Amino acid sequence: MRRRCFSPVGMLIAVAILCLVASTAAAPARSAGTTTFSVSSFGAAGNGIADDSEALVKAWKFACRIPRSTVLLPSGHRFLISPVTLQGPCNTKLTLQIDGDVLAPPGMGYWPKARRPLQWLNFKWLDGFTIQGTGTVDGQSTLLRSVSPANVSQHWYVSGVKPTLIRFYSSFNVSVRNIRITNSPQCHLKFDSSGGIKVKNITISSPGDSLNTDGIHLQNTRDVDIRSSSIGCGDDCISIQTGCSNVHMKNIHCNPGHGISLGGLGKDNSLACVSDVFAEHINVENALYGVRIKTWQGGKGTVRNVTFSNVRVANVATPIAIDQFYCDDGGARCGNRSDAVGITGVAYRRVVGTYTYQPVRLACSDARPCTGVSMVDVRLSPASAAGAGGLRQPLCWKSYGEAVGMIEPTGIACLQRSNGFVMPLTKPFNYTC
């Protein structure tokens, strides 16, 4: 039998080659002053079956330490990711480049009960961060009727555990652009306690009858710019909650959904403060509402300086709505309360299109009426197919302001004038926003 012998030099060369190969597998790519860490280099299979969350976390930890770095999920692959938290602080200009498809597990049965998440991709404590790419973030949440009987007990909609798909917490100077987000169990994209947010050219889509699937949800977040995006979901296309200010929305297409909403604000007698909200060039189709402000009875605080301009609606049940008697449980727990979130300085300019139920519904509080409401060139006509219950006349209850320009139907001009002769009686404010 012939023996194979290796010299010490040969063995050293072989070890060196093995080390080089191992290090190259996770080596970042560098170009144009940026460093890219592909999750494929950290063991991601990218086949939509194996769990690639560990590879994503490893790539993130490397990239987080290096300025101007990128975590890449490359095109042509499907990455199944368990719920993860990707957190900072990180070095500046960190980017998550999503060019492939990122898939959430289809139900809560993937994890022990203690780990059932409130959010899927959870980002926190970041500054100067960007999500971009040509890929899709897919929550893989389908309606109950499409789930097989064998798996129905493991589905999000039955378990009651419905996580937000992408959530940012305490993050600043964040950009989300170009990607597609679809089929979330609950909110698709949420910003909480954050600021300096830019969202541009994204697409959000879920079925119109999927419950509580808000497109973009803002809470305690300032200095927001959302533009050139298409949103279709089963709830508010954009939801603006308490603590939000300086929010700008432009060139937004909402179909289907519940339109653009401020609120519900003031639930459980809480303090709610929203100010300086501007929406322009908004298209809303096949929706429950167009532009809406909704507050719970008993709340405190103010909504002020809100403008909706150049809004087009088509087949929208109620294009313009203020509801200070909001209740989402059919009234079972919503008794009459004397306090209300004050609403002042709301402008509707050039709102045109068709409605299927009621063109305008301004239902304001007796104790704290709506003031400074203005309508300029508002033209709304019945759609060819009205709702089954027939059409309703415009309503202006305890709402003060003026209507000027072209107003159709004429009943929209039901606002009571608030001038030196007619002023609403309001309770004194005992709180500060």
Tell me if the bond preceding 264 is cis, omega within 30° of 0: yes
- Cα–Cα distance for residue pair 223/124, rounded to 1 Å: 18
127 as an active site residue: the answer is no
Distant-in-sequence, close-in-space partners of 13: CB < 8 Å, separation ≥ 6: none
- Cα–Cα distance for residue pair 404/309, rounded to 1 Å: 14
Measured from the Cβ of residue 31, the count of other Cβ atoms closer than 10 Å reads 8
Distant-in-sequence, close-in-space partners of 14: CB < 8 Å, separation ≥ 6: 6
Q: How far apart are the first and last CA of the chain?
A: 90
Q: Which residue has the tokens 């200010």?
A: 245
Q: Tell me the two tokens of residue 52.
A: 């690639």
| Residue 243: alpha-carbon gap to chain centroid | 15
- Cα–Cα distance for residue pair 357/379, rounded to 1 Å: 15
- Cα–Cα distance for residue pair 221/219, rounded to 1 Å: 5
Paired with 247 in beta bridges are 224, 277
Distant-in-sequence, close-in-space partners of 275: CB < 8 Å, separation ≥ 6: 245, 246, 302, 303, 304, 305, 433
DSSP string, 81-105: ---EEEE----SSEEEEE-SEEE--
- Cα–Cα distance for residue pair 388/391, rounded to 1 Å: 9
From the list 192, 236, 258, 339, the catalytic residue is 258
Is 249 within 8 Å of 227 (Cβ atoms)? yes
Paired with 289 in beta bridges are 318
235 as an active site residue: the answer is yes
From the list 235, 236, 323, 339, the catalytic residue is 235
Is 198 within 8 Å of 223 (Cβ atoms)? no
The pairing of strands 101-103 and 136-138 is: parallel
Residues designated catalytic: 235, 258
